[in-house]
Chain A
């Protein structure tokens, strides 16, 4: 089929707004980052020089970068399953209950909407080594108290717990939407077909029908957990001794504290590759599901 010239013009006119916005907000910044990553530019410089892969070579030799990358992955490995499981369980409980549904939904969704920076301060109080509620409760129950944010062995996991608290409400809402799309008839049929208990109904119906939602939730959770920054910045500044150094925080420190813009750009490229590869996973899983149906 060939298009007439006027159809062509109309088509171009229609995609123009979207393309212009994409160029301004997406393609231009991305390509400047890409260019920057291969130069020796520092913030404030009047000229720059292309230095090939030197920035990336420097990253490979930089233990802080590796620490930052592994911290980010560990953080995600805790937050993604944690927030998914908590989101799923709370969605199932709310869905099964009849009263107070909207109350719980709103309450659990609150952390998602609240400013994380403000919430971080609350967490800082709660985790305070001497008068924080966490330690006073631990002591009252006979557990050892910790300096939660200053202990290099646990600080990252404390941040992960805060990350779970912050994001499970979002996952819960997604799971609830998925649950409401499952026809009630199926559960009635399953009861007459003899499913003995709720777990078996979950295995027979809920989980398989929720699988596409779960994949989506896993991938968005992963991408959001890669982007952890606010809590790190507010509570630990990457410390103690780089124990909570994460990719976005390293980018921030390199770019805006040490002004090594090109170095920051190289880390950004790594970060973007990470996000893109996870997004590709979603694409692959969608394709597989599409063929399976």
Chain B
């Protein structure tokens, strides 16, 4: 069990600033995801927490105590690597036993002759028992004597998880552990890791670039971009109250619709650019916060460009007069629009997000400009 506090952590590689003053407080037992596009510094932050990478500034606290001068092995963390990093020449059982062998046996007991010592034998027997229990818990007992090369991606991922679990560390660090699995396996593994977290109750820090993984598994999500954390919140808050346009765009699929707009009379959003010069903002709404309507009463209008039928949802892409592609979710049970139709788009005013030109959220309630 451990809380993790990241205090003003900075990391530079030569001239490039990979992390720019990261502050993050992770609670004991929490499942937090670090999510962001490729190259935003997620892995670097995780490696700094683990101690594998040294930060250029700031500190890491585990359970309130700074660990900056403590070696990775002594931080009581376990890590699951994207590549799984299984020892290729060892069997599954031997792989899982390594963390225990390294910590419980002394140098003599680990040596070739030392295996004959009664104390080594007793410890190895005890370790084998624990390895067996972990294997049972992850249902990989039948793989114990196989080498990693003969395992499937999903099986390797479980072995890596087992190796991390066996020592009962105070926190788990995971760097995109599912990115080598196919889509179906990933959904299944998502559920398993979340269940594992509930069962173990340890702190999980989970790095991913897949917003769906972050949304489905986490207690809280930290959205990172360009070496900064833009927002830390629950999945619901992140989705419904993005504080930054880049967060809004990164979370949610299909992507949120963003249109250039102008604020008139304080709280009226206009998509027509009569007064372009001042009060420019960016208006955003999710596909499910809009619906198709007749042209007559709609603040936006356009021609249907493409229809994505996902079975449960129909995502209609509309090319507006201004040249923007707007996606609207429709119910496949209703009237089916057709490509080429001229339609209007009506948004739910309560679910409109407005961002300034600096991408920051502008809080308020807005009305849409009455149609022309």
B82 (CB) vs chain A CBs: closest residue: A185
Number of B residues, CB within 8 Å of A:
25
Determine whether B152 belongs to the interface, using a CB cutoff of 8 Å to chain A. no
Encode A200-227 as 1/0 by CB contact (under 8 A) with B. Answer: 1000110011010000000000000000
Determine whether A183 belongs to the interface, using a CB cutoff of 8 Å to chain B. yes
For B85, give its contact among A188, A196, A200, A208 (CB under 8 Å): A188
Contact partners of A142 in chain B: CB under 8 A:
none
Q: Are A193's CB and B83's CB within 8 A?
A: no
Determine whether B20 belongs to the interface, using a CB cutoff of 8 Å to chain A. no
With contact pairs A200-B110, A204-B87 given, residues A185 and B102 touching in the complex (Cβ less than 8 Å): no
Determine whether A136 belongs to the interface, using a CB cutoff of 8 Å to chain B. no
Determine whether A140 belongs to the interface, using a CB cutoff of 8 Å to chain B. no
Q: Are B99's CB and A194's CB within 8 A?
A: yes
Interface-side segment among B71-79, B177-185, B193-201: B71-79
Q: Are A208's CB and B81's CB within 8 A?
A: no
With contact pairs A204-B98, A209-B88 given, residues A188 and B73 touching in the complex (Cβ less than 8 Å): no
Contact partners of B79 in chain A: CB under 8 A:
188-189, 192
Contact partners of A100 in chain B: CB under 8 A:
none
B83 (CB) vs chain A CBs: closest residue: A185
Encode A94-134 as 1/0 by CB contact (under 8 A) with B. Answer: 00000000000000000000000000000000000000000
Determine whether B353 belongs to the interface, using a CB cutoff of 8 Å to chain A. no
Q: Are B52's CB and A193's CB within 8 A?
A: no
Residue among A186, A190, A192, A194 with most chain B CB within 10 A: A192
Determine whether A151 belongs to the interface, using a CB cutoff of 8 Å to chain B. no
Q: Are B81's CB and A185's CB within 8 A?
A: yes
Contact partners of B72 in chain A: CB under 8 A:
188, 191-192
Determine whether B89 belongs to the interface, using a CB cutoff of 8 Å to chain A. yes
B110 (CB) vs chain A CBs: closest residue: A200
Q: Are B147's CB and A193's CB within 8 A?
A: no
Determine whether A293 belongs to the interface, using a CB cutoff of 8 Å to chain B. yes
Determine whether A195 belongs to the interface, using a CB cutoff of 8 Å to chain B. yes
Residue among B73, B103, B147 with most chain A CB within 10 A: B73
Q: Are A193's CB and B102's CB within 8 A?
A: yes
B78 (CB) vs chain A CBs: closest residue: A192
Assembled-state Cα–Cα distance A196/B273 (Å): 67
A-B contact pairs, 7 of them (CB 8 A): A183-B83, A188-B79, A191-B52, A193-B98, A193-B99, A193-B102, A194-B99
Give the 8 A-B residue pairs with the shortest CB-CB distance, closest first. Answer: A189-B85, A194-B102, A185-B85, A193-B99, A208-B89, A194-B73, A194-B103, A191-B72
